Structure 1
Amino acid sequence: MTHYIFEGIIFVLGFLGTYFMIPLFKSMLVNGNIIRPNYKKEMIPVGMGIVFLPMLIINSIIVIYFMWGIIGAMDTVGLVCLLLFVFSIMCMFFAGALDDLIGNRDVSGLKGHFKSLFKGELTTGGFKALFGGFVGLVVSVCLSSSIVEIIVNTLVIALSTNLMNLFDLRPGRAIKAYLVIIIPIFFTLTGYIQILPLLILPNVLAYFNTDLKARAMMGDTGSNVLGMSIGVLMAFGYDIKVRACWLVFLILMHLITEKFSLTKIIEKNRVLKFIDNLGR
């Protein structure tokens, strides 16, 4: 019971803390002229994913202080996993913010960014893809017991990070996809890592309506973080068979979206279109 109460406190703190910070960060971005046209060509703040960061750090400190330092409910492995989780997300905040600030939208898709790289031109999207891959490699080396696991975990983390970018083309779409994935992850994780989704999930829920109503865009600053959190949790919490199945899904999704427009696929499917438009 105490465990559930503690998780509830973390959830409430993350939700309320993020909710009350949204106007502050939105004003900061507007004052800094960090605004971009959305799909309707309306100029709105971009990079609002940064609002996920403060409560991620604050709640991480609380979890470490109480679960590691006071009640001893978290072992050394749990502490390392938490620190790797925060490390990976912080890295993608940086890469995503860089893309939101100076990114060139003339090049899109992983294929396009790597083509530019092979021509000697580094795009922010190319940097983000490489950087995410190396972050995934760092995490994978820390938790994997074989070369095969290192390769699988690195690909799972890197491609999961980019997965949310594929969805983040309409208000609320990426967060809806994220919730469909992260909620089952939260309920199927076991042990010390079960609390890790609560470092980011309530923050996202607090911001959800702002994104859904197109009052701001979380940008790559947010979508990269959501994808990274999924990838790292998949690598932490599931056996190699589950990770391999998830990797196959990720590869198929990236291959499909390189050839076809995800928006057009959704618009042609009545159920997907209804879900996509829900709440706007």
Structure 2
Amino acid sequence: MYSYVFRGIIFLLGLIGTYLMIPLFKNLLTDSNCIRPNYKGEMIPVSMGIVFLPMVIINGIIVAFFTIDAISMLCLFLFIFGMMAMFFAGIIDDTIGNRDVSGLKGHFKSLFKGKLTTGGFKALFGGFVGLIISVSISKNIADIIINTLIIALSTNLMNLFDLRPGRAIKVYLVIMITIFITLTGYIKILPLLILPNVLAYFNLDLKAKAMMGDTGSNVLGISIGILMAFGYTLNVRIGWLVFLVLIHLLTERFSLTKIIEKNKALNFIDRLGR
């Protein structure tokens, strides 16, 4: 659909543009006292995922200008809408969220008791965002249900991993690069709206100089979910959904960090680059 040169330009713009914006947003968050202790207790800026969005919009404008048919334009706008929507929910959780309740089970249990947490709001909001995107692209009720679950659970996937510097982004890069390689047609351009932005920020997260927070992890998660819903067959989507359900059930019962630490290979990859 787009030439290698066009894709290369979009990639470089996202990479360089985000890299140049990082100091600006880091200072903005620090000056606004949007800081939080990391796992070592050091006070660092949180919500640095905000830096992903500017180049998503700028490159989105460029891609939209060269997009001709209505279906492709719909996919582009739904992709950007989903990321912006979860950016909004994530920054609310980062700035006013209460950490006394954790996990989807905990947030929904709190909601059933009549208390809405920011995590509960984020989960419900993410579900409805997934639903509106799914209704827009799905062929039948079964497709709507599958795609909604994929988008909602994928959105939360990166939160499960974002407990140590660089961990969530390492997982994200493996998934997103695989998606980029295997996608075909117009949809193949969409990962380039976010992937280079994440690469530009990666080292800052890896060295624990900033936290992307839910502001970033939600955006990364939903970008995976939307692309899975857009670009893959029913069998692939069902397989991905099964994986999402299993890993959510696993993390409700066991500590993902402890599982990783007990496995030599996973622990090595997890610590690599820190």
After TM superposition, the score normalised by the length of structure 2 is: 0.99
1:6 counterpart residue number: 6
What are the Cα deviations for residues 76-127 of structure 1, in whole angstroms up to 9, with x where unaligned?
A: 1111000000000000000000000000111000000000000000000000
Return the letter of the residue paired with 1:216: A
Aligned partner of residue 44 in structure 1, secondary structure: strand
Going from structure 1 to structure 2, the CA distance change for 1:2 and 1:57 (only over 3 Å counts) comes to closer
1:246 counterpart residue number: 240
Aligned partner of residue 205 in structure 1, secondary structure: helix
2:31 counterpart residue number: 31
Residues in 2 aligned to 1:273 and 1:128: alpha-carbon distance in whole angstroms: 30
Residues in 2 aligned to 1:196 and 1:15: alpha-carbon distance in whole angstroms: 15
Residue 2 of structure 1: how far off its partner (Å): 6.6
1:91 counterpart residue number: 85
Matched, 1:265 2:256: no
Structure 2 residue runs of 5 or longer lacking an equivalent are none
Return the letter of the residue paired with 1:14: G
Return the letter of the residue paired with 2:20: F
How many residues were matched structurally?
274
Aligned partner of residue 208 in structure 1, secondary structure: helix
1:277 counterpart residue number: 271
Matched, 1:81 2:80: no
What are the Cα deviations for residues 134-163 of structure 1, in whole angstroms up to 9, with x where unaligned?
A: 000000000001100000000000000000
Residues in 2 aligned to 1:113 and 1:91: alpha-carbon distance in whole angstroms: 20
Return the letter of the residue paired with 1:38: N
What are the Cα deviations for residues 149-193 of structure 1, in whole angstroms up to 9, with x where unaligned?
A: 000000000000000000000000000000110001001110011
Residues in 2 aligned to 1:77 and 1:215: alpha-carbon distance in whole angstroms: 41
Aligned partner of residue 225 in structure 1, secondary structure: helix
Matched, 1:187 2:185: no
Residues in 2 aligned to 1:226 and 1:118: alpha-carbon distance in whole angstroms: 28
What percentage of aligned pairs have identical amino acids?
75
Residues in 2 aligned to 1:273 and 1:147: alpha-carbon distance in whole angstroms: 41
What pairs with 1:1-280 in structure 2 (closer than 5 Å)? 3-65=3-65, 67-68=66-67, 72=68, 75-280=69-274
Residues in 2 aligned to 1:41 and 1:256: alpha-carbon distance in whole angstroms: 27
Residues in 2 aligned to 1:2 and 1:189: alpha-carbon distance in whole angstroms: 13
Residues in 2 aligned to 1:54 and 1:225: alpha-carbon distance in whole angstroms: 13
Aligned partner of residue 247 in structure 1, secondary structure: helix
Aligned partner of residue 44 in structure 2, secondary structure: strand
> Are 2:2 and 2:189, in contact at CA under 8 Å, matched by a contact in 1?
no
Residue 199 of structure 1: how far off its partner (Å): 0.1
After TM superposition, the score normalised by the length of structure 1 is: 0.97
Structure 1 residue runs of 5 or longer lacking an equivalent are none
Aligned partner of residue 93 in structure 1, secondary structure: helix
> Are 2:89 and 2:215, in contact at CA under 8 Å, matched by a contact in 1?
yes
Residues in 2 aligned to 1:256 and 1:158: alpha-carbon distance in whole angstroms: 17
Residues in 2 aligned to 1:150 and 1:127: alpha-carbon distance in whole angstroms: 21
Aligned partner of residue 36 in structure 1, secondary structure: strand
> Are 2:14 and 2:59, in contact at CA under 8 Å, matched by a contact in 1?
yes
Residues in 2 aligned to 1:92 and 1:2: alpha-carbon distance in whole angstroms: 28
Residues in 1 aligned to 2:173 and 2:70: alpha-carbon distance in whole angstroms: 29
